[in-house]
Amino acid sequence: MSLNSTQELPATSLDQLFAKLGSEKRAALIGFMPAGFPTQEGCIEIIKAMIDGGVDAVEIGFPYSDPVMDGPVIQAASEQSLRQGTKARDVMEIVGAVSSLAPTLIMTYWNPIERYGVEKFVSDLVSQGGSGTITPDLTVEESAQWIESTNDHGANRVFVVALSTSPDRLVRVAEASTGFIYAASLMGVTGTRTSMSAGARDLVERIRAVTSKPVAVGLGVSTPEQAREVASYADGVIVGSAFIKAIAESASHEEALHRVKELAQSLSAAIKEEAMNR
């Protein structure tokens, strides 16, 4: 089976979301939250607050002990989750609790998937209503089993491209991805930034030159101004560290829920304003 083959599959809720927002010429707001942070139940409530505030789709991070792509904010949240005993079944439970409210993906390094069992991971994800998985450290050269399993279960598989990705690799990643392509906006790790990388727009243009699939930009988006800027050239705006910071800086869970919803509202409003002004 070719690594680049993407057989015709039933549309997931994520596919449907991008089709709907594409017809409206609006970018999707995608919110990230590590599973089990600040607690298992608290995480579910936080994600629901994000969705209530205007987040269109959700990434649930699978806490991992060696998160090479994650910045200090996400690392600290993941470490707290692991210390509290978050397991793979807890990640799947959170997917099941929120997937009826918004398209839901798991973002995870490959090692936890392998430990869980590739086929079982995809099967359990889909059974919980999940749309797919983002795998930042899985290369297309090593993804034959992953492609087969996600095709078999009708799940999206999202690969990550960076500013340094070569033209040939860009084509291969774009062909192997379904749902959307994750464009890492800068060289480095996740985290809030005061300004967006000038290379992010160029990277999206390079991706668009080889595919018509949706492109979402992450790493560094944290303010309404940045969200508005990214929404002007990408199909999705991914925000993670800013939500986690809002929780970490809150004096209570109630305050965290309020701040998370408020942040989602401001980001969503900026994206919708950009669409209206086109």
User: DSSP code of 12?
Assistant: P
Please report, as a single letter, which amino acid is at residue 118. V
Q: Domains of the chain by range and CATH? A: 26-276 (3.20.20.70)
Under DSSP, is residue 59 helix (H, G, I), strand (E, B) or coil?
A: strand
Concerning whether 262 is annotated as a catalytic residue, the answer is no
Instruction: Find the range with the poorest average confidence among 19-28, 66-75, 76-85, 112-121.
Output: 66-75
**56, 70, 124, 229: the active-site residue:** 70
pLDDT in tens, 31-70: 999 999 999 999 999 999 999 999 999 999 999 877 666 7
Establish whether the linkage from the previous residue to 38 is cis, with ω within 30° of 0. yes
Give the Cα separation of 189 and 69 in Å (integer): 5
Estimate to the nearest angstrom the gap between the alpha carbon of 3 and the chain centroid.
22
C-alpha neighbours within 13 Å on the C-beta side of residue 250: 20
* 170-214 pLDDT tens trace: 999 999 999 999 999 754 444 444 445 578 999 999 999 999 999
Instruction: Give the pLDDT confidence score for residue 188 in this predicted structure.
Output: 42
Catalytic entry in 15, 59, 124, 175: 59
**Predicted confidence band of residue 7 (pLDDT cuts 50, 70, 90):** low
Of 46, 24, 25, the residue nearest 37 (C-alpha)? 46
Per-residue model confidence as pLDDT tens digits over 114-142: 999 999 999 999 999 999 999 999 999 99
Say which range, 71-85, 131-145, 158-172, has the weakest mean pLDDT.
Answer: 71-85
Which pair of structure tokens corresponds to residue 221?
A: 């988006």
Q: Is 70 an active-site residue?
A: yes
How far, in Å, CA of 200 to CA of 197, rounded?
A: 6
Q: Which residues contact 7 (CB under 8 A, 6 or more apart)?
A: 151
Owner of token pair 């995608």: 30
How confident is the model over 78-102, as a mean pLDDT? 96
How many angstroms separate the Cα of 121 from the Cα of each of 12, 110, 277?
A: 17, 11, 42
pLDDT of residue 186: 57
Cα 116 from Cα 99, distance rounded (Å): 21
Helices then strands, counting H and E runs in the chain, come out as: 12, 9
